[in-house]
Amino acid sequence: MCFRSVCTTFVPMILVFGGTTEGRRAIRALEEAGSLYWYSTKTGEQDVAMHHGRRTDGAMDKETMEAFCGEHGIRLVVDAAHPFASVLHQTIAEVACSLQIPVIRFERIYPPRDPDITWIDDYSEVPTDIQSLLATTGVQSIKRFRRLEESGITVFYRILDRESSVRLALTQGARPEQLCYYEEAGEIPVEADAILLKESGTSGGFVEKVSAAKAKGMRVVALRRPPMPQSFHVVNGEYGLRRMVERLLPEFYPLHSGLTTGTCATAAAVAATIRLLRNEMPDEVPVLLPNGETITVSVGYGEGYAYCIKEAGDDPDVTDGIEVRAQAYPQPLPKGGEWLVIEGGEGVGRFTLPGFDFPPGEAAINKAPREMIRKNLEQLSIVNYPLSIVLSVPNGKDIAKRTFNPRLGIEGGISIIGVSGIVKPYSEEAFIQSIRKCMEVAKASGSERVVIGSGMKSEQQLRSLYPDLPQQAFVEYGNYIGETLKMAEELEFYHVTLGIMIGKAVKLAQGHLDTHSRRVVMDKEFIAQLLREANCDLSPLNITVVRELWDILSPEEAARFSKVVVQHCYEHCAPLLPKGKLTILLLRNN
């Protein structure tokens, strides 16, 4: 996905050491700022798309790095290099100490260490009670296996299929018949007794490689990742990187991010549980976000509860500064019941109408925050300890009056919501400008098709339909469908796919090219008209949110209704793309 960015005046710059998947992800996070930064790789062979970044390639020793940082006003370093690039990590640490520059380590996400794997710390510890070995540790490590070959062990080397790698492998003494090449992470290209892997994390395909090797009955040997310098600030995802940059170099992002009420509730629940079970009260707790990364969130404590202060960043939000509380109680586990019960207390609203994640009468705590709380408590390894978590928000009832909750039939307090866990603030002008930057990057990627969607949920579905497109070809329009289609026309995209869910689709079908709820709300009369056109008689139309229709309509009626909605959307959108071919996909709310 291409993220938003805002043009700003000069601010001190960031230097990113990449060449990895994490390097690409760091670019995505930094592009949101619209500020200049540098991206450095050793070989220059990684193809990356940047709009605000500048590139420098070639290895840097300490003196070169110090000179570069001084010349370009570098005030923060992001180390997103390979976890086994120990010399580079140490050089970065020394330069950072010398120049008093903070370093953020963009770490990979690692699965728990499998006890069935033989874990080693050095190549000299590779077992010798084997006849053949497939080494997947990179072309630079080939010379380290000479002793194994001399002892009669056949060694195969899996390397990147590029001319520079083959040339270096042969220079280091490998024979052509020993070389095999990367295709799929889970593919084993030769027959061997054992495989040697680096602990490369989920982005390095470690789990897939281990699974494939075990399926072939191979012994799995893995090099543990080396430790990072303790002075580094560690994050393992784009949200965490952005928040750490905002903290260490606040002027880089013109607008700062915040936390959803769901993340605040999760942090408070984790803190309350730690206090209950361990009698500890940490000032910060880790929170696992839905995308798999972990961020650190500040918490506090009161009499019998833990709390987290909602920070909206620079996003205008009436819930900014509220206190989200959690109380943790042991509960008797009913026969066949859940080990975790999540309830709403004072200041948390209740659903009074159908159409939400939970039926009327339930606390207005959406599915995503509930799942976040569950997964985070599972991280504490307490699934065998039955718990009840009660969430509350002081003054939540009064705050809710300034939200859309009363209109939606949520009464008595605010909702605990949030899909990603993070709130990204953008003004309307900045948002539209950021869409343009993303569209420009999509064009620069060389893709003949651009796929536009409203957000994370729609993008997940769209990616599955277009698996061969580069990630830059997927652009988020938010609510600005008309503006995005006009940009596609200006940039001469001749194939445009618009993915849209039913809530926005019925607004677009009515001619609203900006579907934001502050400008247009659900029009039941128009929806009834669409239903009549589709020969679906639901009068009187008794729905709270449009997606309820999927549960009410039969499959045949849903198909007819979808066709009518898409046709109306097309009539309003196609004129904005006179030279291009527009495909509209009506997506289901998962």
Task: Decide if 284 is inside a domain.
Answer: yes
What is the CATH number for 243?
3.40.50.720
pLDDT score of 518: 55
- Residue carrying structure tokens 């090797």: 213
Alpha-carbon gap, residue 580 to 87, rounded angstroms: 51
Residue 183 has pLDDT above 90, yes or no: no
Mean pLDDT, residues 260-276 taken together: 96
Phi, psi for residue 419 in degrees, rounded to 5: -90, -50
Residue 318 has pLDDT above 60, yes or no: yes
Q: Which of 14-18, 234-238, 408-412, 481-485 has the lowest mean pLDDT?
A: 408-412
The tokens describing 482, both together, are 């008309």
Q: In terms of Cα–Cα distance, which of 90, 99, 197 is closest to 141?
A: 197
Instruction: Provide DSSP, 27-46.
Output: HHHHHTTT--EEEEESSS--
Query: Of the residues 423, 449, 475, which one is the last residue of a structural domain?
Result: 423
Q: What is the pLDDT of residues 292-305, one digit of tens each?
A: 999 999 999 999 99
Query: Of the residues 391, 423, 455, which one is the last residue of a structural domain?
Result: 423
Residue 551 has pLDDT above 80, yes or no: yes
pLDDT score of 1: 33
Task: Decide if 253 is inside a domain.
Answer: no
pLDDT score of 428: 66
Task: Decide if 532 is inside a domain.
Answer: yes
Q: What is the mean pLDDT of the chain?
A: 90
Indicate left, alpha or beta for 381 from its phi (over 0: left) and psi (-120 to 50: alpha): left
Task: Decide if 540 is inside a domain.
Answer: yes
Radius of gyration in angstroms for the set of CA atoms belonging to the chain, rounded to a whole number = 27
Q: In terms of Cα–Cα distance, which of 400, 56, 92, 436 is closest to 261?
A: 400
pLDDT score of 3: 33
**382 pLDDT band (50/70/90 cuts)?**
confident
Q: Please state whether beta strands 179-181 and 284-288 pair in parallel, antiparallel, or not at all (unpaired).
A: unpaired
CB 101 within 8 A of CB 72: no
Alpha-carbon gap, residue 210 to 117, rounded angstroms: 9
CB 302 within 8 A of CB 288: no
Highest mean pLDDT of the ranges 136-145, 183-192, 299-308: 299-308
User: Does 454 lie in the same domain as 411?
Assistant: no
**Alpha helix ranges (H) inside 32-162:** 62-71, 86-99, 146-150
Task: Decide if 26 is inside a domain.
Answer: yes
pLDDT score of 504: 92
Phi, psi for residue 178 in degrees, rounded to 5: -85, -10
pLDDT score of 523: 87
Task: Decide if 5 is inside a domain.
Answer: no
Query: Of the residues 391, 406, 423, which one is the last residue of a structural domain?
Result: 423
pLDDT score of 590: 60
User: Does 131 lie in the same domain as 56?
Assistant: no
Higher pLDDT, 158 or 334: 158
3-class DSSP assignment, residue 544: coil
Percentage with pLDDT > 90 across the chain: 69
User: Does 499 lie in the same domain as 351?
Assistant: no
Q: Please state whether beta strands 194-198 and 219-223 pair in parallel, antiparallel, or not at all (unpaired).
A: parallel
Alpha-carbon gap, residue 88 to 91, rounded angstroms: 5
User: Does 434 lie in the same domain as 454?
Assistant: yes
User: Does 339 lie in the same domain as 243?
Assistant: no
**9 pLDDT band (50/70/90 cuts)?**
very low
Higher pLDDT, 116 or 46: 116
Q: In terms of Cα–Cα distance, which of 326, 345, 333, 334 is closest to 382?
A: 333
User: Does 408 lie in the same domain as 323?
Assistant: yes
CB 49 within 8 A of CB 75: no
- On the CB side of 167, CA atoms within 13 Å amount to 3
Mean pLDDT, residues 17-24 taken together: 95
The tokens describing 369, both together, are 């925050």
The number of distinct structural domains making up the chain is 4
CB 351 within 8 A of CB 410: yes
Indicate left, alpha or beta for 333 from its phi (over 0: left) and psi (-120 to 50: alpha): beta
Alpha-carbon gap, residue 228 to 548, rounded angstroms: 50
**114 pLDDT band (50/70/90 cuts)?**
very high
Instruction: List the domain range (segments joined by +) for residue 154.
Output: 118-223
**7 pLDDT band (50/70/90 cuts)?**
very low
User: Does 75 lie in the same domain as 145?
Assistant: no
User: Rounded to a whole number, what is the distance in angstroms from the first to the last CA of the chain?
Assistant: 19
The tokens describing 187, both together, are 């593919």
Higher pLDDT, 477 or 102: 102
- Residue carrying structure tokens 């001190």: 12
CB 422 within 8 A of CB 470: no
Mean pLDDT, residues 9-26 taken together: 86
What does each C-alpha distance from 296 to 257, 285, 289, 401, 500 come to in angstroms? Answer: 14, 6, 10, 31, 33
Alpha-carbon gap, residue 213 to 222, rounded angstroms: 12
Q: CA torsion sign, 57 to 61 to 62 to 63?
A: negative
3-class DSSP assignment, residue 182: coil
Percentage with pLDDT > 70 across the chain: 94
CB 192 within 8 A of CB 167: no
What is the CATH number for 364?
3.30.2110.10
Mean pLDDT, residues 491-512 taken together: 94
What is the CATH number for 132?
3.40.50.1380
pLDDT score of 10: 47
